[in-house]
Amino acid sequence: MKNINITFPDKSVRSFPIGVTPMEIAESIGERLAIATVAAQVDDILVDATYSIQKDAQVNLVTGDSPEGHDVLLHSTAHLMAQAVKELFPNAKVTIGPAIENRFYYDFDIDGTFSEEDLQNIEAKMAELAKKDYPLSRKELTRDEAIKLFSSMSESYKVEIIKDIDTSEKLTAYQQDDFIDLCRGPHVPSTGKIKHFKILESSGAYWRGDEKNKMLQRIYGTSFGSKQALKDYLHFLEEAKKRDHRKLGKELKIFTFDEEVGPGLPLWLPNGTVIIEELEKLAKEVERKAGYTQVRTPHLTKGKLYEKSGHLEHYIDSMYPAMDVDGTDYYVKPMNCPHHHKIYDSSKRSYRDLPVRLSEYGTCYRYEKSGQLFGLMRVRSMQMNDAHIYCRPDQFKQEFLAVCGLYFKYFEIFGIEKYQMRLSLHDSAGLGKKYVNEPELWINTEKIVKEALKEGGFNYVEVQGEAAFYGPKIDVQVWSAIGKEFTLATNQVDFAQPGRFGLTYTSEEGIEETPLCIHRAPLSTHERMIGFLIEHYGGDFPLWLAPQQVAILSISDKTNTYAKSIYNKLFDSNIRAILDDRPDKIGAKIRQAELDKINVMIIVGEKEKDTKTISVRRRFSGDLGSMKLEELIDQLQNEIKLRRNTNRKEK
Kindly list the residues in this chain that would bind Zn ion in the complex (CB under 5 A): 75, 183, 337, 519
Supply φ then ψ for residue 317, to 5 degrees: -65, -20
CB of 456 to Zn ion, least distance (A): 21
CB of 556 to Zn ion, least distance (A): 58
CB of 302 to Zn ion, least distance (A): 18
Q: Are 474 and 492 in contact (CB under 8 A)?
A: yes
CB of 68 to Zn ion, least distance (A): 14
Cα separation, 103 vs 484, in Å, equals 14
CB atoms within 10 A of CB 11: 7
Helices 116-131, 67-88: axis angle to 10 degrees equals 110
Q: Are 157 and 93 in contact (CB under 8 A)?
A: yes
CB of 338 to Zn ion, least distance (A): 8
Pairing of strands 600-604, 550-554: parallel
Buried residues in 55-90 as b, exposed as e (16+ CB within 10 A): eebebbbbbbebebbbbbbbbbbbbbbbbbbbbebe
CB of 250 to Zn ion, least distance (A): 32
| Residue number with CB closer to Zn ion (311 or 519) | 519
Nearest Cα residue to 626 out of 608, 646, 605: 608
Cβ neighbours of residue 380 closer than 8 Å, sequence gap 6 or more: 262, 263, 264, 265, 365, 366, 367, 368, 373
CB of 217 to Zn ion, least distance (A): 19
Pairing of strands 460-464, 418-425: parallel
Cα separation, 604 vs 479, in Å, equals 40
CB of 507 to Zn ion, least distance (A): 24
Q: Are 241 and 357 in contact (CB under 8 A)?
A: no
CA 547 distance to own-chain centroid: 25
CB of 24 to Zn ion, least distance (A): 23
CB of 225 to Zn ion, least distance (A): 17
CB of 522 to Zn ion, least distance (A): 13
Nearest Cα residue to 528 out of 422, 381, 418: 381
Cα separation, 93 vs 110, in Å, equals 7
Residues in the chain: 651
Q: Are 544 and 596 in contact (CB under 8 A)?
A: no
Cβ neighbours of residue 294 closer than 8 Å, sequence gap 6 or more: 284, 287, 359, 360
Nearest Cα residue to 73 out of 82, 64, 81: 64
| Residue number with CB closer to Zn ion (519 or 619) | 519
| Residue number with CB closer to Zn ion (20 or 335) | 335
Buried residues in 444-477 as b, exposed as e (16+ CB within 10 A): ebbebbeebbeebebebeeeeebbbbbbbbbbbe
- Report DSSP letters for 547-584, one per residue: S--EEEEESSGGGHHHHHHHHHHHHHTT--EEEE-SSS
CB of 423 to Zn ion, least distance (A): 17
Cα separation, 23 vs 223, in Å, equals 21
- Quote the DSSP letter at residue 315: S
CB of 187 to Zn ion, least distance (A): 6
CB atoms within 10 A of CB 102: 14
